[in-house]
Amino acid sequence: MHPILLEFGFVRIFTYGLLVATGFFMAIMLAAHLAKKEGMDPQQIIDLCFYIMIASLLGARVLYIVVEHEYFTQYPLEAFKFWKGGLVFYGGLIGGMIAAAVYMKRQRMNFWKVADLLAPALALGQGIGRWGCFFAGCCYGGKTDLPWAIVFTDPKSLAPLGVPLHPTQIYLSLNAIAIFLFLLWLLKRKQFDGQVIWSYGVLYSIGRFVIEYFRNDDRGFVIEGVLSTSQFVGILFLLISIVMLIVLRAKSLRGRSNLPKGH
């Protein structure tokens, strides 16, 4: 694959950064479109997405630095070169959720209704952005003899060269696209606000947990060789998602039962 898409003298366009940016752009456009269909102000959603984007990048980079702290202790300036690769999704998710909560509270927006609109956009952005990982060679898989194995040959790639590997970046992308399609379907049929965003939490956590077993990059472990950092965070996120689905559904049912008869 090609980590550097174009190079003009000292100017370099990194494929990773371009595809991550494309993912963010497509996600923002989709969120604005869905907001307009729901009678919301698209510009307000675009503003919200801008803050989420900044917070997500910072959160994803910070968690990556924490996981790879030994490397960044030796090369501290590398911490600022995020366009070369090195973002942990769960860090971005946490950062984005904090930014979203602060912004929506200040703007007095319906948090769960807006979160449901953002969920499909989030999955779409992931599906596109993961191809950036593929071209950069980060998040690479373990050795395999499967017919769809990928061999990296570019010396600038972050993946081992000349070895057939699981294309885990593509697994992650396909997982996100499948979730995106399901969430679009669910958005029109949801029974309570918050159902879509927390359904995303359940589906992503499960998919990510499974795919982690096919990865072989240095990504940090809670239990060495058994449970990666992302799997551990994913378990917590899965449990929180299930609890929130139960709580919000129960709250919705109570609200309906308290309505006067005839409504």
Q: How far apart are CA 133 and CA 131, in angstroms?
A: 5
* Cβ–Cβ under 8 Å, residues 15 and 5: yes
243 domain-assigned: yes
Does residue 142 register a pLDDT over 90? yes
Task: Indicate the pTM of the whole model.
Answer: 0.85
Q: Which domain holds residue 147?
A: 4-252
Q: What is the pLDDT of residues 160-196, one digit of tens each?
A: 999 999 999 999 999 999 999 999 999 999 999 999 9
Better pLDDT: 263 or 255: 255
* Cβ–Cβ under 8 Å, residues 244 and 194: yes
- Of 229, 110, 236, 131, residue with least CA distance to 176: 131
Q: What is the pLDDT of residues 54-85, one digit of tens each?
A: 998 888 888 878 877 777 788 777 777 665 55
Q: Name 133's bridge partners.
A: none
258 pLDDT tier (thresholds 50, 70, 90): low
257 domain-assigned: no
Does residue 31 register a pLDDT over 60? yes
**pLDDT above 70 as % of the chain:** 94
Three-state DSSP class for residue 22: helix
Q: In terms of C-beta density within 10 A (0-12 exposed, 13-18 middle, 19 or more buried), how is residue 148 classed?
A: exposed
Q: How far apart are CA 180 and CA 118, in angstroms?
A: 11
The tally of domains found in the chain comes to: 1
